[in-house]
Amino acid sequence: MQRRRFILSATGALAAPAIAHSQDVMTSNGTRYRLVTLTRDLEQPWSIAFLPDGRLMITERPGRLRVFANGRLERAPVGGLPRVYARGQGGLLDVCLHPGFAGNRVLYLSYSAEGAGGAATTVARAEYRDGSLRGLARIFEALPRTSGGLHFGSRLAFDRAGLLYVTAGERYQMQRAQDLGDLGGKILRLRDDGSVPPDNPFVGRDGARSEIFTWGHRNPQGLAMHPVTGRMWAVEHGPRGGDELNLLEAGANYGWPRATHGIDYSGAVISPNKSLPGMKDPVRVWVPSISPSGLAFYTGNRFPAWQGSAFTGALSNFALFRIGVDGERWTGEERLLADRLPYIRDVREGPDGLLYIVTHADDGGLYRLEPA
């Protein structure tokens, strides 16, 4: 198939949706499904989130937040967005609703923002009313800032306790991941106002940032809570090989770059160690890389055979991966949509029990998987 231009450096139910076209029927583990195109009018979409009324919010990396409603993409972007550093992998990235959004109308955005010294992964919260953001306030920044446009991480997810998790890449400066005084290469846990929960693992430890929940990460771009256990899971980009699926444990060090299954893009060895004492091993490692992005656990009843599975987009593998998880174990996987869509950036379950995905391209699209 013809590959579209891709800018990634280095490396309510919906009412009467307009269907551009439906591809042929595919089969997964006995489940017949098809891919439906909803729109192809997006520029580098990065994340999707469903509003309580079934409308769908979509971030575009250059700095726009769009709404898909009543079967079409609304022409005017949402107003009141922050200024973003839209270079390389940076820009407007994730969008996440407050657990109490139906009452307070609060949502969260992650993005790269520029300031003294360079750019950093940033999180802001605001109220969404009448097609615009109001009271936008920055609540977190993965300091220190640095130059360059790589490895922002930027996924957002809430747990059952209403605490917000934020993934921050190490900005292509690998040693930052092992520095507890640095917020790069970490997964952070915050209250909904950006303050620090008192039971975070490094609260009160000299030389360590209290926002840190886990450390030793490279560029985690998928984050989701398991619907049964309530545990948080993440997928992260390795270098050349060594992509990871991780089960997050408070205070754990996930090894990068002291332990990795990958090598440098030049072919040079980064570390001779794939595992080290005192460091947490991945649940699953991909060699060669698939470039996992976005993460969702499926709980719906439209695809009964997929219940409990995790899904992640595989940017460099041109596929959607369905991953079997049993408690804390990886039990297998299969490659869906093989070579049908390039650069799947995010995947989410909709309120209708169907799966929705976006593709990160200049002519990026919103798609839906439905039973055939």
**Which DSSP letter does residue 360 get?**
-
**Cα–Cα distance between 157 and 233 in angstroms, integer?**
10
Task: Please state the separation of Cα 96 from the chain's center in Å.
Answer: 10
Contacts of 161 (CB under 8 A, 6+ apart): none
Q: CA 318, CA 68: separation in Å to the nearest integer?
A: 24
Q: Determine the length of the chain.
A: 372
Q: What sign has the CA pseudo-torsion 109, 112, 114, 116?
A: positive
Q: Which residues are catalytic?
A: 151
Angle at 355 between CA 350 and CA 360, to 5 degrees: 105
Distances from the Cα of 290 to the Cα of 17, 242, 268, 283, 316, angstroms: 31, 9, 20, 15, 5
Structural Rg of the chain based on CA atoms: 19
Find, among 292, 314, 301, the residue nearest to 355 by Cα.
301
Angle at 285 between CA 280 and CA 286, to 5 degrees: 160
Neighbours of 5 (CB within 10 A): 10
The DSSP call for residue 104 is H
**Rounded distance between C-alpha atoms, residue 69 and residue 67, angstroms:** 6
Residue 8's nearest CA partner among 85, 88, 87 is: 88
**Distance (Å, rounded) from C-alpha 255 to C-alpha 185?**
10
**Four-residue CA torsion sign, 210, 137, 360, 170:** negative
Beta bridge partners of 48: 58
